[in-house]
Amino acid sequence: MDLRRLRYFVAVAEARSVGKAAERLRMAQPPLSVQIRKLEAEVGAPLFRRGTRGMDLTEAGQALLARAGEALALAADGVEAARAVAAGRRGRISIGYMFALANAVLPRLIPELRRSIPGVELHFAELSASTREARLLDRSVTVALCMPAINHPEIQVARVGAQPLMLAMPIRSPLSRLGAVPMAKLHGRPLIALPRPEQDPASSAVTALLRRHQVVMPIASRVETVHSAMSLVLAGEGFAILPACAKLGAPQGIVFRPLRDATDSIDVAVCWRRDSHSPLIRTFLKCAEKVVAPM
Amino acid sequence: MDLRRLRYFVAVAEARSVGKAAERLRMAQPPLSVQIRKLEAEVGAPLFRRGTRGMDLTEAGQALLARAGEALALAADGVEAARAVAAGRRGRISIGYMFALANAVLPRLIPELRRSIPGVELHFAELSASTREARLLDRSVTVALCMPAINHPEIQVARVGAQPLMLAMPIRSPLSRLGAVPMAKLHGRPLIALPRPEQDPASSAVTALLRRHQVVMPIASRVETVHSAMSLVLAGEGFAILPACAKLGAPQGIVFRPLRDATDSIDVAVCWRRDSHSPLIRTFLKCAEKVVAPM
DNA sequence: GTCAGCCCATATATTTTCGGTATGCCAATG
DNA sequence: CATTGGCATACCGAAAATATATGGGCTGAC
């Protein structure tokens, strides 16, 4: 079965004439006549009744016509859908993000995306840092919102903003009465730490900050996520040094205070596979920049 | 768009490899590779990610694949449907019949047809003689059950049985006490006549019968259908000479009596357009013969 | 009745496209 | 570093599609 034959068939059926159909198809009449007869040979039955005033579908022809039109439309639609996906007008983008950014970014990011790419299905997944990396690599997420960026040769990174580091503590802590906490006050206090520097440069910003101010904080616990860190802070296990936006997801009873004399910040980045060329990624990046930069 | 390309595309997508797909398609690998690239050029976007271990659909490719499979199935289904219709395994047959045959024939004909051609849609239309002819000619009915046959150069006829002529009268008529009515008793009595001989040879059987027996019956009324004839008989307008099977559709109060010494009968025929070659017509004819002949 | 016109079918030539073979290129692997 | 697996490219012969020219049947007009 050849789609061209079906197209010709439909044209002849609609024109009820080989000659008229040939004209509409911008071709000569004899080859069209030949193609129709070949189609009839392939089906094994006449599809048209030849009269002296044109052609007319037989019952078998009507049965074929009903499906042929749909098949043509479906094939055309398939090509169009592929083009739309390739152009980023349709399709889906799966977005991995971290808990700490959810409340700060998503409420503004989602409407922005809906405006830019209305035909695109959006998927969101809150993922830990290591899962974000794994799922970027296996393509089960298209882009990841990270803080800080993922460091991997296959993964491309674009910085879209930064978040100052702040001290998170229980409201009952005496330090919470200060407007800004001097670094020196942290010395010796227990720290809730995020993953090790070599796995996640996030905590390296914190260790660099402490080292520069010659502050030593014993590590009370290590946790995987910002969320866990805040739970432990609330439980009184210690202090955490977190990006400012985490405040928006913090439970009652935790307060954030700036660190006096410390302008350290941590980058917010969009990450994606180097070999993903979907235009949706560019669009997503633009939206993320617009939303994150002013924070 | 060419269906072959789509078929190749689906094969490669399923095999996730040009080489494997080529093997399954019984062709060499290079031409398949060429066709895939042509398809990609036509779509205007890559459909596969080429890795070192085969090929993998891009998002655009997935969008196309979803429709391509359906389009292929639909095209194949269309051809199969056309074949089935041409072979008489599917489709529809529209059957025009006359009132007088409805009760006598349809209850046995319909199950017979359902058994012979279970996949075929049956349409029934009770039609007057002239309408049957017109609708055969414009193909809005496929076959007609007639009594007697239609006489027209475009229409082919097959006799499938015969019905003896009987006298229909009100039960209160004195003649109804006779087991069989001698022809001579009809002389001078009013006749409810069906359409003129030149339009419908049905009544010519009646006039021939009367002429042969030298019986004269004044025409009380002319009616279009057997049904009307019986209504007038019941109303006491006169007598009618009708095929025996009309008895099954007769209202209460009418009796049928054989005519002594008159073996005249009227043919039951199946009629169809000479240029209709559907195998359904042959099948219908067989069923009608089986059902009508023993009557 | 004949003649012109319309429409589809057939025949032949040309062009396009397809499929096969040979070969190249790249990456992963031992 | 050679080998292997997999896709891409090059080129050639074959098949199929298209165009032009022509034939033949039916219709309708003069």
**Averaged pLDDT for residues B51-78:** 92
Q: How many Å apart are CA A63 and CA B199, to the nearest integer?
A: 37
Q: What is the mean pLDDT of chain B?
A: 89
pLDDT category at B196 given cuts 50, 70, 90 is low
pLDDT of residue B103: 84
pLDDT digit string (tens) for B230-280?
999 999 899 999 988 888 888 899 999 999 887 888 889 999 998 888 899
Cα A209 from Cα A262, distance rounded (Å) = 8
- Residues B237/B190, Cβ–Cβ less than 8 Å: yes
The whole-angstrom separation of Cα A221 and Cα A232 is: 8
Beta-carbon count within 10 A of A80 CB: 16
Highest mean pLDDT among A117-131, B20-34, B119-133, B162-176: B20-34
Which chain B positions have a beta carbon within 8 Å of A61's beta carbon? Answer: 82
Shortest CA distance from B58: residue in chain A? A86
What homologous superfamily does CATH list for B96-160+268-292? Periplasmic binding protein-like II (3.40.190.10)
Question: Which carries the bigger pLDDT value, residue A54 or residue B38?
Answer: B38
Using the CB atom, is residue A27 less than 7 Å from strand D?
yes
Percent with pLDDT over 70 in chain B: 97
pLDDT in the model for residue A193 = 87
- Which among B45, B82, B86 has the least Cβ separation from residue A82? B45
pLDDT tens, position by position, A231-280: 999 999 999 999 988 888 888 999 999 998 878 888 899 999 988 888 99
With beta carbons under 8 A apart, name residues in chain B contacting A47: 82
Residues of B with CB under 8 A from a CB of A: 1-4, 6, 42-47, 49, 58-68, 70-72, 74-79, 81-87, 90-92, 275, 278
Instruction: Kindly compute the dihedral angle of the four CA atoms of residues A94, A100, A101, A106, in this order, to the nearest 10 degrees.
Output: 70
Across the range B120-124, mean pLDDT stands at: 94
What residue of B is the nearest CA neighbor of A46? B86
* pLDDT tens string A118-130: 999 999 998 888 8
How far apart are the C-alpha atoms of B183 and B256, rounded to whole Å? 14
Domain A163-266: assigned CATH number: 3.40.190.10
Note the pLDDT of residue A194: 81
Q: Of the CATH numbers 1.10.10.10, 3.90.170.10, 3.40.50.1820, 3.40.50.12280, which one belongs to the domain with range A3-87?
A: 1.10.10.10
8 Å CB contact between A161 and A289: yes
In tens, the pLDDT along B137-149 reads 888 899 999 887 8
Asked if A65 contacts B82 with a C-beta cutoff of 8 angstroms, the reply is: no
**A174: preceding bond cis by omega (within 30 degrees):** no
CB of A18 nearer than 7 A to strand C: yes
CATH topology of domain A91-160+267-292: D-Maltodextrin-Binding Protein; domain 2 (3.40.190)
DSSP state of B245: G
Give distance CA A170 / C1' D15 (Å): 82
pLDDT score at A96: 93
Between CA B35 and C1' D14 the distance (Å) reads: 18
Q: What is the pLDDT of residue A234?
A: 92
Q: Which residues of chain A have pLDDT under 70?
A: 196-203
Nucleotides in chain D near protein beta carbons (<7 Å):
5-10, 17-22, 25-27
Determine the Cα–Cα distance for residues B237 and A213; give it in Å rounded to an integer: 125
Chain A residues whose C-beta sits inside 8 Å of any chain B C-beta: 1-4, 6, 42-47, 49, 58-68, 70-72, 74-79, 81-87, 90-92, 275, 278
How confident is the model over A128-148, as pLDDT tens digits? 888 888 899 888 899 999 988
Mean pLDDT score across all residues of chain A: 89
The 10 Å Cβ neighbour count of residue B150 is 21
The answer to whether domain A91-160+267-292 and domain A163-266 are alike in fold is yes
**pLDDT-based confidence at residue B198 (cuts at 50, 70, 90):** low
Using only C-alpha atoms, what is the Rg of chain B?
32
B203 — pLDDT class (breaks 50, 70, 90): low
Concatenating the DSSP letter of every residue in B8-66 gives HHHHHHHHTSHHHHHHHTTS-HHHHHHHHHHHHHHHTS--EEEETTEEEE-HHHHHHHH
Evaluate whether A262 touches A167 at the Cβ level (below 8 Å): no
- Residue A197: predicted pLDDT: 53
Domain boundaries, chain A: 3-87, 91-160+267-292, 163-266
Does 3.40.50.300 match the CATH number of domain B161-266? no
